């Protein structure tokens, strides 16, 4: 490392839950962190109508993972709060986290990172004050990207023209404005399911379009949050056994999808990101939500679907996911193609020293504890813990990709998929091994051999 670089602070991009955990973990290791946040407050996606212009939270949004699984290891969610938090409670919880660990002093609000590039062994970061427009260039030892991946809407390319109102789900806030309308919701992920359910008691009709169907999981099974039934032990069983166990749980606790019109995908359970909804199946059975195939063509007021259905619609809401993008990083530094990005342990681009990603994962389960372990590991690596060779890291990336492709459908939404327990335990083991050994050994290497 070039002289003096070690004394520079670390730049953290974004003060959502991932960036907050990064500041906390770096600070815990005695590393000075300076976090830049476009918005005027913390919380990212979980601050409703965030003035960063990027929160996609709708008014009724509740997490679909239980509060116990959602909490950072460092701070419990109050026991009096409900099992599934409303977005306002997630934001309040993050505020508690910030106060508890005195993180606010490390954050420069209303500042956007507009570029970051390697510079003389460290990083040169350009930030723009969003109020004054002034841009400043400063040097950092490393950059931790925690800028989120649910803000850049992905829109499908569909033949034809639609004469009604169209929007991406990222713009949807409330059912207001949809009373009495005929609405098509495209996409059967969690957001599409939530919006279709909500609109079914406001709109004249709701048509939910899905390309390949989904296994709809309930929020509660036998009175308990669904994810509270998952366990470390269960996650170590062969995939086929896990799939069988989930099918038994669903048979016991979920509404049957049969006769609902919601197609199950050709692929088995756990081969796509789960769609969790307590109400969708019954609404589909009662006809309040009509489930149809993929959109094939738009023709004026009409929407045509691959199964031959044609509906007249006033509005289309595209719940079609998000692109992974980093406008402040040149493509020569990090290339993202079809949402694929090559990161060692989903954190480190192999050939770019000093660049780290926290929260760039799509867990089957909650994100915060996983982002927290990523941040713990990043703090240790920045602090000097050695990494395996480039070749070993690349091999690991390739193995992980093969494993992902074996389990999940080949879709842009599955490129950063991880499982809650295995990933949590693996990242924790990397940190614990570093803590237990001298930093001159290579614990990451040992764990992977």
Query: Interface with ligand FAD by CB under 6 A: which residues?
Result: 13-19, 36-39, 44-46, 52, 54, 56, 61, 63-65, 70, 112-113, 146-148, 150-151, 191, 328, 359, 366-367
Is 150 or 396 the residue whose CB approaches ligand FAD more closely?
A: 150
| Residue keyed to tokens 């020569």 | 332
Please report how close the Cβ of residue 390 comes to ligand FAD at its closest, in angstroms: 27
The nearest distance, CB 368 to ligand FAD, in angstroms, is 6
Give the nearest distance from C-beta 88 to ligand FAD in angstroms: 14
d(CA 393, CA 444): 10
CB nearer to ligand FAD: pick between 44 and 354: 44
CA–CA separation, 442 and 434 (whole Å): 8
Cα gap 104→98, rounded to integer Å: 6
| Closer to ligand FAD by Cβ: residue 44 or 83 | 44
Nearer to ligand FAD, 215 or 219 (CB): 219
Nearer to ligand FAD, 189 or 388 (CB): 189
Q: Smallest distance, Å, CB 150 to ligand FAD?
A: 4
260 vs 362, beta carbon nearer ligand FAD: 362
What whole-number distance in Å separates Cα of residue 181 and Cα of residue 400?
A: 45
Distance between CA atoms of 345 and 380, rounded to whole angstroms?
Answer: 14
Pairing of strands 33-37, 322-323: unpaired
Q: What are phi and psi of 6, to 5 degrees?
A: -60, -25
Strand partners, 10: 33, 142
Cα 273 to Cα 150, 263, 336, 404: the distances in Å are: 15, 15, 20, 12
The total number of residues written for the chain in this structure: 449
Round to whole Å and give the CA distance between 390 and 294. 42
At residue 374, the 3 state secondary structure works out as helix
CB 186 within 8 A of CB 158: no
Closer residue to ligand FAD, CB minimum distance, 169 or 444: 169
| DSSP per-residue letters across 304-345 | EETTS-EEE-SEEEE---EE---TTS-TTT---BTTB---BT
CA dist., res. 397 & res. 389, Å (int): 12
Closer by beta carbon to ligand FAD, 194 or else 304 = 194
From the CB of 19, what's the least distance to ligand FAD, in Å? Answer: 6
Smallest distance from ligand FAD to CB 413, Å: 12
CB 334 within 8 A of CB 352: yes
Q: How far apart are CA 62 and CA 169, in angstroms?
A: 15
CA–CA separation, 37 vs 252, rounded Å? Answer: 45
**Minimum Å distance from CB 359 to ligand FAD?**
3
At closest approach, how far in Å is the CB of 347 from ligand FAD? 13
Task: With beta carbons less than 8 A apart as the criterion, state whether 293 and 307 touch.
Answer: yes
List the one residue out of 31, 53, 35 whose CA is nearest residue 44.
53
Taking the C-alpha atoms of residue 156 and residue 134, their distance in angstroms, rounded to an integer, is 36
Q: How far is the CB of 436 from ligand FAD (least distance, A)?
A: 29
Pick the closer one to ligand FAD by CB: 309 or 323: 323
Minimum Å distance from CB 119 to ligand FAD? 18
Comparison of 64 and 279: residue with beta carbon closer to ligand FAD: 64
């Amino acid at each position: 490392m070039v002289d003096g670089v070690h004394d520079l602070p670390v730049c953290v991009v974004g003060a959502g839950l991932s960036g907050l955990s990064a500041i906390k973990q770096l600070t815990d290791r005695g590393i000075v962190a300076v976090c830049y946040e476009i918005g005027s407050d913390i919380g990212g996606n979980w601050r409703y109508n965030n003035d960063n212009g990027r929160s996609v939270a709708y008014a009724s949004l509740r997490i679909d993972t239980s509060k116990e699984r959602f909490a950072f290891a460092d701070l419990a969610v109050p026991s009096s709060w409900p099992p599934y938090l409303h977005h306002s409670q997630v934001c309040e919880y993050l505020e508690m986290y910030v106060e508890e660990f005195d993180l606010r002093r490390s954050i420069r609000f209303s500042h956007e990172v507009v570029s970051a590039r390697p510079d003389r062994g460290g990083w040169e970061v350009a930030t723009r004050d969003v109020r004054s427009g002034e841009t400043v260039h400063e040097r950092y030892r490393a950059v931790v990207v925690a800028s989120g991946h649910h803000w850049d809407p992905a829109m499908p390319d569909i033949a034809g023209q639609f004469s009604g109102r169209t929007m991406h789900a990222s713009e949807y806030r409330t059912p207001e404005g949809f009373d009495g309308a005929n609405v098509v919701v495209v996409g059967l992920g969690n957001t599409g399911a939530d919006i279709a359910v909500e609109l079914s008691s406001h709109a004249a009709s709701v048509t939910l379009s899905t390309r390949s169907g989904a296994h709809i999981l309930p929020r509660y099974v036998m009175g308990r949050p669904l994810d509270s039934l998952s366990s470390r032990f269960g996650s170590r069983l062969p995939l086929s056994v896990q799939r069988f166990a989930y099918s038994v749980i669903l048979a016991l606790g979920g509404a049957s999808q049969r006769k609902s019109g919601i197609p199950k995908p050709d692929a088995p359970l756990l081969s796509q990101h789960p769609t969790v909804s307590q109400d969708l199946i019954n609404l589909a059975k009662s006809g309040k939500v009509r489930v149809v195939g993929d959109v094939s063509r738009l023709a004026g007021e009409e929407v045509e679907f691959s199964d031959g259905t044609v509906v007249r619609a006033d509005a289309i809401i595209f719940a079609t996911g998000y692109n992974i993008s980093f406008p402040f990083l040149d493509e020569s530094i990090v290339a993202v193609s079809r949402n694929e990005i090559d990161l060692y342990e989903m954190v480190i681009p192999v050939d770019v020293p000093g660049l780290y990603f926290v929260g760039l994962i799509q867990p089957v389960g909650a994100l915060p504890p996983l982002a927290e372990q990523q941040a713990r590991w990043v703090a240790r690596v920045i602090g000097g813990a050695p990494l395996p060779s480039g070749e070993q890291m690349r091999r690991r990336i390739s193995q992980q990709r093969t494993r992902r492709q074996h389990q999940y459908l080949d879709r842009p939404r599955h490129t950063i998929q991880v499982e809650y327990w295995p990933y949590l335990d693996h990242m924790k083991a990397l940190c614990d091994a570093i803590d237990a050994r001298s930093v001159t050994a290579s614990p990451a290497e040992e764990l992977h051999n």
